[in-house]
Amino acid sequence: MFFYYLYDLFTAPGVMMHELAHAFFCVSSGVKVHKIKLFQFGRVAGYVDHDEPTKFYQGFFISVGPLIINSLFALFAFAQFQYSLSDWRPWVWLYFGLVVGLHAIPSDGDAHALLRLANHRILKNPLVIIGYPFILIMYIFYFMKRLHIDWLYVFVLFWLGNVFLKQ
């Protein structure tokens, strides 16, 4: 139990960025935010309480916002890392890239909210059917995260950031 709390505390900045990504896409798409909980211990590490989006694209970007924002930040952070034993700053970039990348994958709650929105909007806009494969991918990513394969995703981000985006 102690190690779960330690892991949650260690990765808290990633949770915070995940929730801020949801909030950013809520605000930028015109969906009112009521409450933001950036971090807490427990099964739900954080949340953004907001109005239900009126359009499918709003819900889509709110749900996949952490995948976009956290992945981009992790790529940037990993691009700043350069192995050095004499300088501590690259290690801070590595830490933030790691913890933010680990929380890039949307939760099952994010996928469920988008699925519910798609089901409500399918009769009003049949093009919503295009969103169902993305929802399935979100559920697969979340399942992979439950198996700790999110570490593989972070490794790929590290490789991309450190090899291709190096300054």
Give the range of the structural domain holding residue 130, as residue numbers without chain letter: 2-164
pTM: 0.90
Cross-strand pairs, 35: 49
- Please report which helix (H) or strand (E) contains residue 18, including its range: helix 12-29
SS3 5: helix
> Which pLDDT tens digits describe the chain residue by residue (167 residues)?
788 889 889 999 999 999 999 999 999 999 999 999 999 988 888 999 999 998 989 999 999 999 999 999 999 999 999 888 888 899 999 999 999 999 999 988 899 999 999 998 888 877 788 889 999 999 998 898 889 888 999 999 999 998 887 75
Q: Which tokens hold the place of 156?
A: 């790929």
What's the domain count of the chain? Answer: 1
Query: 125: exposed, middle or buried (C-beta count within 10 Å: 0-12, 13-18, 19+)?
Result: middle
